[in-house]
């Protein structure tokens, strides 16, 4: 029987893969709700305003911040993968993994700053 080699899981690229998959799935799960919320506009201004007022609470703002971070991580992680896949081979690019994490932190802090401003 074949066993997973746990050494691979200690590599930063494995965790970059986990973050990319989980963020991709979370973004895909969020999109139908997002379209539903925008679709409220079809029922008129009042319906959309009603939902926006309902969503104007801390729990939703924290979740929105999380989504912004997930999108930043998925976007920069995706660009890293495209560079690896289509560029000349130059390793698993831990520098790009670090840049991806940095972009996630920056996006989260910028979102928090915009909320406070």
Chain positions contacting ligand HEM, by CB under 6 A? 20-21, 24-25, 27-28, 31, 74-75, 78-79, 81-82
Nearer to ligand HEM, 63 or 82 (CB): 82
Considering only the C-alpha atoms of the chain, give the largest distance between any 2 of them, rounded to a whole number of Å.
61
Q: How far is CA 67 from CA 1, 8, 22, 43, 78, in A?
A: 40, 28, 12, 26, 16
* Shortest Å, Cβ 53 to ligand HEM: 26
Q: What's the rounded Cα separation, in Å, for the pair 36 and 41?
A: 9
Nearer to ligand HEM, 21 or 43 (CB): 21
* Shortest Å, Cβ 39 to ligand HEM: 17
Q: What's the rounded Cα separation, in Å, for the pair 81 and 77?
A: 6
Q: What's the rounded Cα separation, in Å, for the pair 40 and 55?
A: 13
- Phi, psi of 68, rounded to the nearest 5 degrees: -60, -45
Residue nearest to ligand HEM (CB): 78
Nearer to ligand HEM, 32 or 117 (CB): 32
* Shortest Å, Cβ 24 to ligand HEM: 3
Nearer to ligand HEM, 74 or 93 (CB): 74
């Amino acid at each position: 029987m074949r066993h997973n080699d746990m050494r691979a899981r200690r590599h930063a690229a494995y965790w970059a893969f986990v973050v990319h998959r989980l963020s991709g799935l979370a973004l895909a799960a969020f999109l139908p709700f997002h379209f539903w919320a925008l679709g409220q506009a079809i029922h008129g201004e009042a319906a959309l305003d009603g939902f926006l007022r309902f969503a104007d609470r801390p729990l939703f703002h924290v979740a929105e911040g999380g989504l912004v971070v997930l999108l930043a991580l998925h976007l920069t992680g995706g660009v890293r993968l495209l560079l690896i896949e289509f560029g000349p081979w130059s390793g698993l690019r831990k520098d790009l993994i670090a840049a991806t994490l940095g972009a996630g932190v920056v996006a989260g802090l910028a979102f928090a700053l915009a909320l406070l401003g």
